[in-house]
Amino acid sequence: MSYHLNATEQFFQLIESVDTLINFAIKEKNAGNTKNYDLFLNLAVVNLVTKFQVLVENGLEEFLYQLQNSDKTYQDLSLNLRLHSLKYLLNQSNVLPNKLEHPLRYNQQVLHKVSDELKSLHKICLNEAKIDHNFRFSTQFPMGKQGVNELIDLYKQINGENIFEKAALDKNKLNEILRRRHEIIHDDVSHQLTEIFVLEYKDFLEEVVKYIDSYLGQNL
């Protein structure tokens, strides 16, 4: 199957390791090793969700790269994405407002840096300006926050919409899967997982990934 993003193809190649862990779990169950059975299933869930989260970030970074290297102008982007870009760049800037917070350090060099920064930001406001590498937006989950709401917020930058609302995907199921990884890693919570559950998680996230790839492709 052909996908819009290389990150998507890479996800489906790497996801085979989840099947390997599930097979190990089944062998341990057949041998009567319950603890190892649970261990391999927990590892499979962590592996699965981690690869999904990497796909999200890599996919958005690739989406951004394709926009930066396209022949599009800023009028081809949604107003929402342009404003999110400005917000992101201002938050990441080490010039604005930092360089203006210490009047005793004002000099001509500071003026030039501020001027350059403002010109770069202003370019995003110009409809006819070509998208370049100064254009950026958030492509990563916030530190320590990788739940479904953070996932929705990342994609909401593009058109201001919850991309999963119109999809035939169960948001609660998605939240459950993402929460499972967090609980296994951070809370050391033991769930009564079975290989059937983990395979269902895998099938579900594969459908989510296909939907995300299609959504991003439609907005390139």
Nearest in space to 180 (alpha carbons), one of 140, 143, 203, 147: 147
Is residue 192 very low, low, confident or very high in pLDDT (cuts 50, 70, 90)?
A: confident
Is residue 106 very low, low, confident or very high in pLDDT (cuts 50, 70, 90)?
A: very high
pLDDT exceeds cutoff 90 at 34? yes
Q: What is the pLDDT of residue 189?
A: 62
Nearest in space to 141 (alpha carbons), one of 52, 38, 18, 26: 52
Is residue 159 very low, low, confident or very high in pLDDT (cuts 50, 70, 90)?
A: very high
Q: What is the pLDDT of residue 191?
A: 66
Does this model's pTM top 0.75?
A: yes
Nearest in space to 149 (alpha carbons), one of 182, 174, 168, 181: 174
123's CB contacts (< 8 A; 6+ apart) are: 74, 129, 132, 134
The two three-digit tokens of residue 211, written as one number: 């939907």
Q: What is the pLDDT of residue 59?
A: 98
Q: What is the pLDDT of residue 186?
A: 76
What is the C-alpha separation between 163 and 184, in angstroms, rounded?
27
pLDDT exceeds cutoff 80 at 211? yes
Is residue 176 very low, low, confident or very high in pLDDT (cuts 50, 70, 90)?
A: very high
Is residue 188 very low, low, confident or very high in pLDDT (cuts 50, 70, 90)?
A: low
Nearest in space to 77 (alpha carbons), one of 7, 158, 14: 158
Average pLDDT over residues 138-162: 93
Angle of helix 148-159 relative to helix 79-92, nearest 10 degrees, comes to: 120
Is residue 26 very low, low, confident or very high in pLDDT (cuts 50, 70, 90)?
A: very high
Q: What is the pLDDT of residue 182?
A: 83
Mean pLDDT of the chain: 94
pLDDT exceeds cutoff 70 at 81? yes
pLDDT digits (tens, 9 = 90+) for 35-77: 999 999 999 999 999 999 999 999 999 999 999 999 999 999 9
Q: Enumerate the domain spans of the chain.
A: 1-70+145-220
